[in-house]
Amino acid sequence: MAATETQLKDLGEKARRMRIDILKMLHGCGSGHTGGSLSSTDIVTALYFYKMKYDPKNPGWDGRDHFVLSKGHAAPMLYAALAHAGYFEQAELCTLRKLGSRLQGHPDSKNLPGVEISTGSLGQGLSVANGIALARRLDKGQNRVYALLGDGELQEGQIWEAAMTAAHYKLDNLCALVDNNGLQIDGPVAKVMNVEPITDKWRAFGWEVMDIDGHSIAALCDALDRAETVKGKPVCIVCRTVKGKGCSLFEGKVEFHGTTPSNEELETALKELAEGACI
Amino acid sequence: MTQKIATRDAYGDALVNLGKKRSDVVVLDADLSGSTKTSKFAKAFPDRFFNIGIAEQDMMGTAAGLAVGGKLPFASTFAVFATGRAWEQVRQSICYPNLNVKIVASHAGVTVGEDGGSHQSVEDIAVMRVIPNMTVIVPADGIETMQAIEAAAEMKGPCYVRVGRNKVPVIFGPDYRFAIGKAHVFHEGKDAAIIACGLMTAEALAARELLAAEGINAGVINMASIKPLDRDAVVAAARQCGAVVTAEEHSIIGGLGGAVAEALAEEAPVPMVRVGMKDVFGTSGTGEGLLKHYGLSAADIAAAVKEVIKKKKSA
Ligand SMILES: Cc1ncc(C[n+]2csc(CCOP(=O)(O)OP(=O)(O)O)c2C)c(N)n1
């Protein structure tokens, strides 16, 4: 059941509009994580608008698939996806990080329906995803569980504890996606603390591994489809991405990990994204 | 002779009872199931037991996920590892999202004994108590442990229950009912009130006898619910006796003594003495020997009561 041409075109358009929302949100609030939100936008677009089952009117729906944003600092990207998915009005996006907002600096599940688990402290999401997968399997549910990890985040030891657990318990209802943009805060991942060879590591831990272009929505949809057919072990999709993807000013720039666009930068970026419009 | 049961054994039995009653109960351990007694549950309900291996951080995260998936998880290991190694996982993945996860940690305090200071948790109450949304219970005997596990299962939200390795005297009758936020007054006193938790309540009861022989009337209150603390009971005891001694198998910083001091300072300032580990780590020895070594015996509590009475008179 591969994605059709029309579907792919719509998904590309969705990702473009989400990037615009992300930039406006971050510009409006003046703080937050630009680079890692933009690098994972296509991944989450494929998840929320192609693959996952959910009901925004009933966030606790038993039949839903679960998404865990382990790299919680990419919250603006998740909020854009949730708004587009219909969990709340688009207008609420501009409350990001403001006092009283449900859109906390990092996702807060007790306040915002649609967020499965609060994250923000890196390294913890995969363990939670394992727990959800175990619970769903006990109930013989068909639900699938997805976790999005950063590549810098792989430096956390708990990720590898969880990698062992998922393989040990043969969690084939679980799929981890690594946003392999090659950068973290203090510089390139390879320089700060090398995590390569990433695919070999996951394979050695007993996972089925796919290595794809994380900005090709067709490749993402295809990988997510294939992941569902793997039996007896969890799947890790290593998504090769570019930090800051979609705006040439921010692409591959380590400085844009935690800085937000200025007025001029926003203008340039929006112009570029407008030129990328399908219509 | 008084019957003696280890609170960890009572925990194991309570889990099996709970597992029979509720199909949503799941149990996690980190390679210590024989010691924490979750092995009893593992044997009865193998499908609902998950050994996560020696990976306490992952265990806490997995427990959080099981709660998100609608289960009632109990996660167990030694108190040092549950609350120390995995503290931030407990904070971020369990308490911050306010998930229904129960952490029951065994081998707390110095009575772990021979394993020594590396294994003797004297900080766990403090570091659990400080996390928002967390409830903290330190049962005194097997009966109260069974009750505390039931209560933890009934309440919604994160809960930490501290149990011990060694057999301790059964001090409650079968009719006893524990409630979160409620202290149990064994004896009202006149000269000073002893507020204790865990195995130190039995020591406090023995101290009361020692003091009675010298004509001193000390009250004894069991404060299993450290958070929420039964402030009313603390204030009432302070007003009645004018002096308070706390007793716990934990550091005098941040645990029961800390919680009671906070309540007294704000609501009923009276002279106070804290019996507990005096800002030191433990060491190898027998459990009993260590209680004496660190000044945690009935005789030490009695001495503390006399000291606090002196303070009261000179105040
Ligand atoms: C436990 C923990 N340590 C440090 C941080 C601060 N921090 C936020 S983002 C980040 C870098 C993340 O790098 P990566 O996982 O590669 O994410 P991405 O590049 O995709 O944004 C760090 C160190 C954190 N959030 N959590």
Of all residues in chain A, the one with the smallest CA distance to B57 is A158
d(CA B187, CA B172): 13
The pLDDT value given to residue A116 = 98
Can you tell me the mean pLDDT for B85-100? 98
Residues of chain A with pLDDT under 50: 279
- Residue in chain A closest to B85 (alpha carbons) equals A158
Q: Is A214 in the pocket of ligand 1 (CB under 6 A)?
A: no
Measure in Å the smallest separation between the Cα of A125 and chain B Cα atoms: 7
Task: State the Cα–Cα distance between residues A145 and A126, nearest whole angstrom.
Answer: 10
Q: Is B15 helix (H, G, I), strand (E, B) or coil?
A: helix
CA distance B237 to B270: 10
Q: How far apart are CA A70 and CA A243, in angstroms?
A: 17
Average pLDDT over residues B216-235: 98
Averaged pLDDT score across all residues of chain B: 97
Instruction: Please give the CATH topology (third level) of the domain spanning A5-275.
Output: Rossmann fold (3.40.50)
Taking the C-alpha atoms of residue B224 and residue A279, their distance in angstroms, rounded to an integer, is 67
What is the reported pLDDT for A279?
A: 47
Arithmetic mean of pLDDT, B136-148: 98
pTM: 0.97
* CB-based contact B97 A117, cutoff 8 Å: yes
A185 CB within 6 A, ligand 1:
yes
% residues pLDDT > 70 (chain B): 100
Name which of A136, A201, A135, A198 is nearest A164 in CA terms. A201
Q: How far is the CA of B51 from the centre of ligand 1 (A)?
A: 29
Q: What is the mean pLDDT of residues B55-81?
A: 98
Is pLDDT of B59 > 80? yes
Is residue A184 in contact with ligand 1, taking CB distance under 6 Å? yes
Any CB–CB contact under 8 A between A119 and chain B? Answer: yes
- pLDDT value of position A128: 98
Residue B283 has pLDDT above 60, yes or no: yes
Residue B1 — pLDDT band, cuts 50, 70, 90?
A: low
Question: Any residues with CB less than 8 A from the CB of B219 and at least 6 apart, and which?
Answer: B185, B186, B187, B188, B189, B190, B192, B193, B194, B208, B237, B240, B241
Give the neighbor-by-neighbor strand order of the sheet with B218-222: B184-187, B218-222, B192-196, B244-251, B272-277
- B66-75: average pLDDT: 98
Specify the pLDDT at position A72: 98
Scan residues 48-87 of B and list those with Cβ closer than 8 Å to A.
Answer: 48, 50, 52-53, 55, 57-71, 73
Per-residue pLDDT averaged across B93-112, rounded? 98
Q: Is the pLDDT of residue B26 over 50?
A: yes
ipTM: 0.95
Cα(A44)–Cα(A50) distance, integer angstroms: 9
Minimum CA distance residue for ligand 1 atom 22: A185
Decide if A158 and B93 are in contact by the 8 Å CB cutoff.
no
For the cut 60, the answer to whether the pLDDT of residue B146 exceeds it is yes
Tokens of B214: 């010298």
Residue found under tokens 């006796």:
B241
- Evaluate if residue B232 carries a pLDDT over 60: yes
Cβ neighbours of B85 in A, within 8 Å: none
Domains in chain B with CATH codes: 4-169 (3.40.50.970), 184-314 (3.40.50.920)
Catalytic residue check, B56: yes
| pLDDT one-digit tens code per residue, B193-203 | 999 999 999 99
Query: B26 and A136: CB-CB below 8 Å?
Result: no
Look at residue B181 and tell me whether its pLDDT is greater than 70.
Answer: yes
**pLDDT tens string A7-18:** 999 999 999 999
